[in-house]
Amino acid sequence: MKIFDREPESWQDLQNLVGQMFAEAGCLVEVSKTVQLVRGKKEIDVYVEDATSTPHSKYLCECKFWNNAIPQEVIHSFRTVVADFGAHRGFIISKVGFQAGSREAAKNTNVELLTFDELQELFFTRWLSAIVVKYMPYADRLFPYWDPSGGRIPKRKWTDIDLQHLRLLINAYTPFVDLGPGDAMTGFEREFPIELPKINDLYEIEGTITITSHRQYFDFIEANKDDSLQRFQLLYGELEAQPSATDGRRD
């Protein structure tokens, strides 16, 4: 399972994506951090403090955007850095992989050798649980509008047209509607692609939006977290429509 929909384009990009992954998973992250070792200082590509583990853990990440497999000398050197700093785990993330001797050098140590895809797979469930928790408040505040048990009452008497508009909004903002409190614990597996109607402020369907990954799913929620609430509030008469309002929905 992948967290990102693209591959890193440079060593800086690789560092930033690794840092972003850990940050979204709920960790404290610093990219290009200089740390104090037993025999001097060392710049670490990605420094991670994981406050969700007990006890709190520190990870050091070395990012290698090399076109060749990583030799064992790199592993021996990084093992020393991890040990001198007292980190709980070390990760070497390679663009293409590792030489056979590298695997042997990391055996029975707290240093893991991973490609970028393998790193994403290792932390996918952890990342997914954390990002569900991050966005649940935005789903919760829409719940009273789309669920009959939510208790939200329109400010005026509705017609059949209003009910049709409500169904359109529910379909258009399905990622919010489908996000539930149990998803953080169950792994939140969704089947993709997901097709959403793209509607304007007159409730006319102007096309579709296709979501093909978890990254796109949560990017959609991030982009529409405020506009979605506003559109339900407008329908329920809790906000006055602005004459200059345009379609606030984002792809």
pLDDT of residue 244: 47
Contact criterion met (CB below 8 Å) for 45 and 22: no
Q: Over 70: is that where the pLDDT of 251 sits?
A: no
pLDDT for 114-144, tens place per residue?
A: 999 999 999 999 999 999 999 999 999 999 9
Mean pLDDT for the stretch of residues 74-84: 96
| Mean pLDDT, rounded, for 61-83 | 97
Residue 65 · residue 55 · CB < 8 Å: no
Reported as a single tens digit per residue, the pLDDT across 191-227 is 999 999 999 999 999 999 999 999 999 999 999 999 9
47 near 20, Cβ under 8 Å? no
Rounded average pLDDT over 68-84:
96
Q: Spell out the residues 6+ positions from residue 238 whose beta carbon is closer than 8 angstroms to its own.
A: 155
Percent of the chain with pLDDT over 90: 85
For the chain, how long is the longest CA-to-CA vector? 75
Q: Which amino acid is at 223?
A: A
What is the pLDDT of the chain when averaged over all its residues?
Answer: 93
Domain boundaries 11-123, corresponding CATH code: 3.40.1350.10
Please tell me the predicted confidence (pLDDT) of residue 248.
52
**pTM tops 0.85:** yes
pLDDT at residue 79 is higher than 60:
yes
- Give me the sheet containing 40-50, strands edge to edge: 28-37, 40-50, 57-64, 89-94, 111-115
Q: Taking residues 162-180, what's their average pLDDT?
A: 95
pLDDT band at 54 (very low <50, low <70, confident <90, very high): confident
The arithmetic mean of pLDDT across residues 156-176, rounded, is 96
Q: Which residues belong to CATH 3.40.1350.10 in the chain?
A: 11-123
- Whether 243 has a pLDDT exceeding 90, the answer reads no
Are the C-beta atoms of residues 203 and 168 closer than 8 Å to each other? yes
Q: What percent of the chain has pLDDT over 70?
A: 94
